[in-house]
């Protein structure tokens, strides 16, 4: 598939756990994310997907476990450390953009550029934001107000941050949940484009057909654990549903016995 030999883990997650009181939301999860890999994350409600992501992005602190980034153990105890040390950019379903601000300000929000000792070097930021927008084939310009853009263009702004700050791993949480069918293809194409630039992507989605379209591997979460890691070869939706829900079926079977 590529010339890199053997596959290099970008991020290794080892024995990650997080409880909320008696609930083991994430229970001893280990997973390698490879360079340039798209990993689909699926699972029933309350399987632990959001909690797992919140540990990666530094919004919650792990109880136990280890992050190894490009071979080196790294500690992450805040969103800033996740961005700077694990090079993670999280794109939320609601995109977390400020609609009244221009694109460039949204892209640099909280990470304004200082150049030659000058705070908020507006000219440089507008120009850098425009470059990224062009790379993503966006119609929007850096000075456009975000609230006036279509949902698809807003998504490009959110993802533009990842390119601007050279993040390695982009986490997309339900990116196709709230957009039109026509735009879904754009988002999936964008994920493939990110992969072709060597970025790794974690795609969390309840739309299994989207995950099957772009993921290299699909990680099935259940009850806070990794239930299965499936290479996405010859997989179809019914295979995936079976893996996702058979424990539930067993539980029902057991309950009936």
Ligand X SMILES: Nc1ncnc2c1ncn2[C@@H]1O[C@H](COP(=O)(O)OP(=O)(O)OP(=O)(O)O)[C@@H](O)[C@H]1O
Which position among 35, 39, 51, 163 is part of the footprint of ligand X (CB under 6 A)? 51
Based on the shown chain and the rule CB under 6 A, indicate whether residue 50 belongs to the binding site for ligand X: yes
Is residue 201 classed as helix, strand or coil in its secondary structure? strand
What is the rounded CA–CA span in Å between residue 128 and residue 124?
6
Neighbours of 167 (CB within 10 A): 22
The C-alpha angle with vertex 220 and arms to 1 and 251, in degrees rounded to 5, equals 150
In the bound state with ligand X, the residue whose beta carbon lies nearer, of 90 and 126, is 90
Among the listed residues 34, 38, 39, 47, the single contact to ligand X using CB under 6 A: 47
Run of H or E including 245: helix 237-256
Residues that bind ligand X (rule: CB under 6 A) add up to a total of 12
| Using rule CB under 6 A, residue 23 touches ligand X | yes
Nearest distance from C-beta of residue 249 to ligand X, angstroms: 19
Task: Give the x-and-dash track for 203-242 against ligand X (CB under 6 A).
Answer: ------------------x---------------------
- Distance between CA atoms of residues 159 and 172, nearest Å: 9
Q: By CB under 6 A, which span of 40-48, 100-108, 181-189, 208-216 interacts with ligand X?
A: 40-48
Measured from the CB atom, the residue of 19 and 193 that comes closer to ligand X is: 19
- Residue (45 or 254) nearer to ligand X, CB: 45
* Among candidate residues 174, 148, 152, 165, the one with its CA nearest the CA of residue 41: 174
**Are 52 and 21 in contact, with CB atoms under 8 Å apart?**
no
With CB under 6 A as the contact rule, the residue among 36, 40, 43, 152 that binds ligand X is: 43
Report the 10 Å Cβ neighbour count for 201. Answer: 26
Among the listed ranges 3-11, 49-57, 125-133, 148-156, the one in contact with ligand X (CB under 6 A) is 49-57
Smallest separation, CB 20 to ligand X (Å): 3
What sign does the dihedral 119-122-123-128 (CA atoms) show?
positive
Q: Does residue 68 contact residue 74 with C-beta atoms inside 8 Å?
A: yes
Which positions touch ligand X (CB under 6 A)?
20, 23, 25, 43, 45-51, 221
């Amino acid at each position: 598939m590529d010339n890199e030999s053997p596959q290099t883990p970008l991020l290794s997650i080892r024995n990650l756990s997080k409880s909320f009181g008696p609930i083991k939301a994430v229970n001893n999860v280990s997973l390698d994310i490879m360079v340039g890999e798209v990993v689909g994350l699926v699972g029933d409600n309350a399987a632990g997907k959001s909690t797992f992501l919140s540990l990666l992005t530094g919004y919650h602190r792990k109880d136990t476990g280890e992050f190894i980034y490009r071979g080196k153990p790294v500690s992450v105890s805040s969103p800033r450390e996740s961005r700077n040390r694990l090079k993670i950019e999280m794109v939320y379903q609601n995109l977390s953009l400020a609609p009244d601000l221009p694109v460039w300000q949204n892209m640099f929000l909280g990470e304004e550029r200082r150049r030659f000792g000058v705070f908020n070097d507006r000219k440089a930021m507008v120009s850098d934001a425009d470059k990224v927008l062009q790379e993503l084939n966006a119609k929007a310009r850096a000075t456009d107000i975000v609230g006036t853009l279509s949902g698809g263009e807003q998504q490009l702004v959110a993802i533009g941050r990842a390119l601007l700050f050279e993040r390695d791993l982009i986490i997309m949480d339900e990116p196709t949940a709230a957009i039109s069918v026509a735009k879904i293809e754009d988002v999936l194409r964008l994920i493939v484009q990110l992969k072709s630039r060597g970025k790794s992507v974690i795609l969390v989605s309840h739309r299994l057909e989207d995950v099957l379209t772009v993921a290299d591997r699909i990680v099935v979460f259940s009850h806070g654990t990794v239930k299965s890691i499936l290479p996405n070869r010859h997989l179809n939706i019914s295979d995936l549903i079976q893996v996702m829900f058979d424990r539930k079926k067993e539980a029902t079977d057991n309950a009936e016995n």
